[in-house]
Amino acid sequence: MHPRRATFWALYLLPVGWVGLFFLVPLVLMFALSFRADMQGELLGLWRPTLDQYEAIFAIGSYWRLLAISIGMAFIVALMAVAMAYPVAYFLVFRAGRAAGLCLVILMIPFWTSFLLRVMSWKFLLGSEGVINSFLTYIHAIAQPLGGLLYSRNAVVITLVYVWIPFAALPIYAALQRIDSEMLESASDLGARPWASFWAVTFPLSLPGVLASFFMVFIPTVGEYVTPLLIGGSRGSMFGNIIQDFFTKAANWPRGAALSMVMLAVTLVLVAIAARLVNLRRLLE
């Protein structure tokens, strides 16, 4: 065990130190800020802690409703993204062969272009006088331009799924690499049909990747704000937009910090429950 001790500390200290300094400390700063009454006075000086912000938040029912809706949306997005990403991961591992690396990069390249520019393109395509509507009107498939393609909650969900699929494929891709194709061949040699061997062998072995993928999509999507801002329209705001607004429109950092702490707490509780349910630790070994 002795040599492993040194390795352990070498591996442990750097990431924990980094995250500790550049994440935990700022987070604690924010937590402290949430107990401030307003922005007046020296920001980093001492102030009298108050529960004003939390009281105000708890009194506003619509915030809680929006949080619940955001969680629901995130759940749907994660579910759909993971389901639609699985075939992509499977393709990369079992069908793409040596071109897998190339295919992976091809999936990533669009994300190296500004999201803002790509959304502008989509708006051009989907707008009421855009290409798709013009085409559909031209062939008389529709009489009025389709309004719901943009600026709605559904549009936000669809966009988020679209954007997440390539990323969601990666943990699944990583997990599927553990599977020996010989294992699958033996299964079929023993008479198992493809679907059966998939559900009995492949899928269970890929489960850590599927779960990792689900959480990877779900957790940040709860606090998502960019896509709702660009595509959601007036009724498509998510909880992240409210937090964003308190920082960048209202200059009310204490309120924003308090809302973030609430979202953090709720998300952590949900994740803890989920982790219990799937017995995460057992899966990691």
Partner 1 sequence: MTIGLQSVAALRRPRVLPIYFGVLVFLLYLPLAVLLLFSFNAGTSLSFPMQNLTLHWYQRLFDSPEVLRAARNSMVVALSSGTAATLLGTAVALLLTRFRFRGESFLFALAMLPLVVPVVVLAVALLVLFLAIGIDRSLLTVAIGHTVVALPFVVLIVTARLAGFDRDLEDAAMDLGAHYPKVIAMIILPLIAPAVISAWMVAFTVSLDEFALALFLAGNDATFPVYLFSQLRFASRLPVMIALAVLLMVATLALVLLAEWIRRRGHRNVTDTR
Partner 2 sequence: MNRALRTLLLVPGLFALAVSACSQKSEDTVVAQTSGELAVLEWAGYDAADFWIDFKNKYPDAKLSFEIGSSDADVYGKMKAGTKADIFHSYTGWLQFYVDEGLVEEIDVSKLKNWDKVPESFRAMGRFNGKQYFLPWDWGFSSILYRTDKVSGTVDSWAALLDPKYKGHISTWDDGPGAVTVSSYIHQYDETNITPEQLVAIKAEWIKQRELNLFYWAGEPELIDGMTNGDVWVAYAWQGTYATLLGKGVPVAYANPKEGRNSWVGVYGIRKGSPNKDLALRFLDEKLATATASNVVNQFYYGVANEEVMKGIADPTLKQAFSVDDPTVLQRTNFTPNLTARQRDDWTAMWTEVKAAP
Determine, following the binding rule CB under 8 A, whether residue 165 of this chain makes contact with partner 1: yes
Contact between 151 and 231 under an 8 Å Cβ cutoff? The reply is: yes
Q: Which of 216, 229, 230, 231 binds partner 1 (CB under 8 A)?
A: 216
Token pair 């029912």: residue: 61
Instruction: Give 198's DSSP letter.
Output: I
| Least distance in angstroms from the C-beta of 223 to partner 1 | 4
| Least distance in angstroms from the C-beta of 66 to partner 2 | 4
Nearer to partner 2, 208 or 254 (CB): 254
* Tokens coding 4: 């492993």
- Residue 148 interface partner, choices partner 2, partner 1, none, CB cut-off 5-8 Å depending on type: none
Binding site for partner 2 (CB under 8 A): 6-7, 10, 14, 38-41, 43-44, 56, 60, 62-63, 65-66, 120, 123-124, 127-130, 147, 150-151, 229, 232-235, 237, 241-242, 245-253, 255
| Least distance in angstroms from the C-beta of 3 to partner 1 | 5
Which whole-number Å values give the CA distances from 175 to 77, 94, 280, in the listed order?
Answer: 21, 12, 15
Q: Which of 57, 205, 274, 278 binds partner 1 (CB under 8 A)?
A: 205
How many Å apart are CA 123 and CA 186, to the nearest integer? 50
Half-sphere CA count of 218, side-chain side, radius 13 A: 20
Determine, following the binding rule CB under 8 A, whether residue 43 of this chain makes contact with partner 1: yes
| Least distance in angstroms from the C-beta of 180 to partner 1 | 10
Half-sphere CA count of 246, side-chain side, radius 13 A: 19
- Binding residues for partner 1 restricted to 72-131, rule: CB under 8 A: 87-88, 90-91, 95, 98-125, 131
| Least distance in angstroms from the C-beta of 4 to partner 2 | 12
Q: Which of 25, 39, 51, 68 binds partner 1 (CB under 8 A)?
A: 25
Token pair 């393609």: residue: 149
How many Å apart are CA 176 and CA 209, to the nearest integer? 8
| Least distance in angstroms from the C-beta of 255 to partner 2 | 7
* Tokens coding 166: 């390539």
Contact between 88 and 169 under an 8 Å Cβ cutoff? The reply is: yes
- Cα separation of the two ends of the chain: 18
Binding mask 253-272 for partner 1 (x = CB under 8 A): x--xx--x--xx--xx--x-
- Residue 62 interface partner, choices partner 2, partner 1, none, CB cut-off 5-8 Å depending on type: partner 2
| Least distance in angstroms from the C-beta of 68 to partner 1 | 17
Contact between 170 and 213 under an 8 Å Cβ cutoff? The reply is: yes
- Residue 109 interface partner, choices partner 1, partner 2, none, CB cut-off 5-8 Å depending on type: partner 1
C-alpha torsion sign, points 129, 131, 132, 135: positive
Token pair 């007046």: residue: 40
How many Å apart are CA 257 and CA 250, to the nearest integer? 12
Q: Which of 42, 62, 182, 189 binds partner 1 (CB under 8 A)?
A: 189
